[in-house]
């Protein structure tokens, strides 16, 4: 996957799926897919600024925490999913802004 906006779309879907995950297999799948997409972004890390990377990391942390694969700090799945969507919204805007500047 090399389209950054497509990767953000997939992360948003994974956040939504975290709300529906009913078993360990589904939670592990969401975790693994989140990590894979984060790694895809890591391959292009040189082209991303620190703020953009922070939004990506925060969103991925929230998704992982929502399925029990990271520290949840006593927050609910709903709260982590909400935070993930907020971070991903900002990430999407940053990517779009950078694409406009590159044209």
Dist. CA 30–CA 18, nearest whole Å: 7
Question: pTM of the full predicted structure?
Answer: 0.91
Per-residue pLDDT of the chain (103 residues; tens, 9 = 90+): 568 999 999 999 999 999 999 999 999 999 999 999 999 988 876 778 899 999 999 999 999 999 999 999 999 999 999 999 999 999 999 999 988 887 7
| Domain spans of the chain, in order of start | 4-102
Judge whether 11 and 84 are in contact, CB under 8 Å. yes
Tokens of 97: 């802004």
Q: How far apart are alpha carbons 21 and 87 in whole angstroms?
A: 21
pLDDT score for 83: 97
Distance CA 55, CA 44 (A): 15
């Amino acid at each position: 996957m090399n389209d950054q906006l497509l990767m953000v779309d997939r992360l948003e879907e994974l956040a939504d799926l975290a709300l529906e995950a009913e078993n360990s297999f589904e939670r592990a799948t969401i975790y693994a897919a989140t990590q894979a997409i984060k790694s895809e972004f890591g391959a292009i890390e040189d082209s991303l600024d620190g703020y953009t990377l922070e939004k990506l990391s925060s969103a991925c942390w929230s998704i992982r925490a929502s399925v029990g694969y990271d520290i949840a700090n006593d927050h609910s799945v709903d709260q982590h999913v909400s935070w993930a969507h907020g971070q991903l919204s900002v990430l999407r805007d940053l990517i779009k802004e950078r694409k406009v500047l590159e044209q």
